[in-house]
């Protein structure tokens, strides 16, 4: 049964000027229940719409958070007359798989926003979550001598518990923890997940299986894409938007990426045939780096062999050889790889 159509009364909180930057639009979207921003001119005429997906596609195409919203807004938007019946708006949203449609008057002015109300029933996702918690965490030195790295505390709580609770808040209910090193500390602490109102099972590695190999220990094949996440990554990623992005792009694998800049500490000389073409003093190189968060389809997991070590780059390469579609999901949210003692110390001072 479909959720009923709602008409947003206070439309002003969704309206933004075309002169603001993408970073400011993200704040508007994050604070709005409908998860959309409407770009309007000074007379409130609709120029374009912006969703989380529009922003991430823009970032992949090289846009900066400081660029104008005009660079990412969707200009070929769908709208309805403001006085149309809600039943008709509901039917259009169902047909077009949309969560919201702006309602305009005859002059193109935004008057209302048709949207699907949130159900009173708690939101749940049927997708499984696999949290990788089997590594030795050697870079953490003495801190992980007698403690698995995902069990190191941030703000008085194990990192793995922070990640678990974020996933639960997003709507996930079925979890698998991949464990090996000092696994009893993890299994004793989390048990079957009853304390959190979820189901937790364990993928027991008898030997290290790499960053993807433990997926081969799943006793049944998932029916939906799974969320795979490293147990030492803290992030404010929107998991629901991530899954929607994965499904809209019809991906077999979606890899979260984070922009990382590296400064070359020397002047870089570009030479051709012995002649100097340019000299770039201490250039700043920008890369998209793997953030350790993935959405994987069942067909990709089937490329693994049970009990065989496999790292994620190898699995992705296998998928590419079979021409399976792969996409990147750029993170603009907070993201921290807690891989070294000084980073753990820093996040304990506050990371949110």
The predicted pLDDT at position 120 comes to 36
Question: How far is it between the farthest Cα atoms of the chain?
Answer: 72
Neighbour tally for 344: CB within 10 Å = 19
b/e 98-116 (16+ beta carbons within 10 angstroms → b) = eebbbbbeeeeebbbbbbb
Residue 152's DSSP bridge partners are none
The predicted pLDDT at position 1 comes to 34
| Residue 264 DSSP code | -
Domains in the chain: boundaries: 5-116, 125-348
The predicted pLDDT at position 142 comes to 84
Residue range 221-237, pLDDT digits in tens: 999 999 999 999 999 99
CATH fold for domain 125-348: Spore Coat Polysaccharide Biosynthesis Protein SpsA; Chain A (3.90.550)
Q: How far is CA 160 from the centre of its chain?
A: 17
The predicted pLDDT at position 351 comes to 65
Cα separation of 169 and 27, whole Å?
20
The predicted pLDDT at position 67 comes to 94
Residue range 263-310, pLDDT digits in tens: 889 999 999 888 898 999 888 888 899 999 999 999 999 999 888 999
- Measure the CA angle with vertex 121, ends 226 and 84; round to 5°: 100
Query: Which residues does the chain have with pLDDT short of 70?
Result: 1-9, 117-123, 351-352
The predicted pLDDT at position 119 comes to 37
| Contact call for residues 114 and 131 (beta carbons, < 8 A) | no
Q: What is the pTM of this model?
A: 0.78
The predicted pLDDT at position 6 comes to 52
The second-level CATH assignment, the architecture, of 5-116 is Roll (3.10)
Closest CA relative to residue 127, chosen from 38, 48, 225, 204: 225
The predicted pLDDT at position 7 comes to 52
**Contacts by 238-241 with C-beta closer than 8 Å and gap 24+?**
238/52, 238/170, 238/333, 239/125, 239/166, 239/167, 239/170, 239/171, 239/172, 240/125, 240/170, 240/171, 241/35, 241/52, 241/53, 241/56
The predicted pLDDT at position 121 comes to 41
The predicted pLDDT at position 283 comes to 87
| Lookup: tokens for 96 | 């077009």
The dihedral built from the CA positions of residue 115, 116, 121 and 122, taken in this order, carries a sign that is negative
Closest CA relative to residue 5, chosen from 95, 66, 92, 132: 92
Strands (E), 133-246: 153-154, 157-158, 172-179, 199-204, 226-230, 233-235
The predicted pLDDT at position 123 comes to 62
């Amino acid at each position: 049964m479909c959720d009923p159509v709602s008409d947003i009364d206070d439309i002003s909180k969704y309206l933004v000027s075309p002169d603001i930057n993408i970073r400011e639009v993200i704040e508007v979207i994050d604070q709005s229940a409908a998860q959309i921003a409407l770009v309007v001119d000074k007379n409130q005429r609709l120029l374009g719409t912006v969703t989380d997906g529009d922003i991430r596609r823009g970032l992949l195409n090289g846009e900066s958070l400081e660029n104008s919203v005009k660079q990412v807004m969707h200009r070929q938007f769908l709208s309805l007359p403001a006085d149309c019946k809600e039943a008709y708006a509901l039917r259009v949203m169902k047909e077009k798989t949309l969560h919201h449609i702006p309602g305009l008057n005859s002059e193109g002015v935004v008057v209302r926003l048709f949207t699907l109300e949130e159900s009173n029933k708690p939101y749940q996702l049927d997708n499984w979550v696999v949290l990788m918690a089997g590594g030795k965490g050697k870079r953490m030195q003495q801190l992980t001598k007698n403690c698995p790295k995902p069990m190191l505390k941030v703000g008085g709580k194990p990192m793995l518990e922070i990640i678990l609770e974020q996933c639960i808040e997003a709507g996930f209910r079925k979890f698998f923890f991949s464990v090996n090193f000092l696994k009893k500390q993890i299994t004793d602490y989390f048990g079957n997940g009853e304390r959190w109102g979820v189901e937790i099972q364990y993928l027991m590695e008898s030997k290290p299986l790499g960053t993807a190999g433990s997926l081969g220990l799943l006793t049944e094949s998932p029916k939906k894409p799974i969320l795979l996440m490293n147990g030492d990554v803290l992030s404010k990623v929107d998991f629901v938007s991530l899954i929607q992005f994965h499904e809209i792009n019809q991906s077999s694998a979606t890899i979260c990426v984070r922009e990382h800049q590296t400064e070359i500490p020397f002047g870089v000389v570009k030479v051709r045939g012995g002649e100097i073409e340019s000299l770039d003093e201490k250039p700043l190189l920008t890369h998209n780096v793997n953030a350790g968060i993935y959405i994987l389809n069942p067909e990709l997991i089937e490329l693994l062999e049970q009990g065989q070590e496999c790292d994620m780059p190898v699995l992705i390469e296998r998928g590419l050889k079979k021409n399976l579609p792969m996409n990147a999901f750029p993170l603009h949210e907070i993201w921290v790889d807690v891989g070294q003692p000084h980073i753990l110390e820093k996040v304990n001072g506050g990371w949110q």
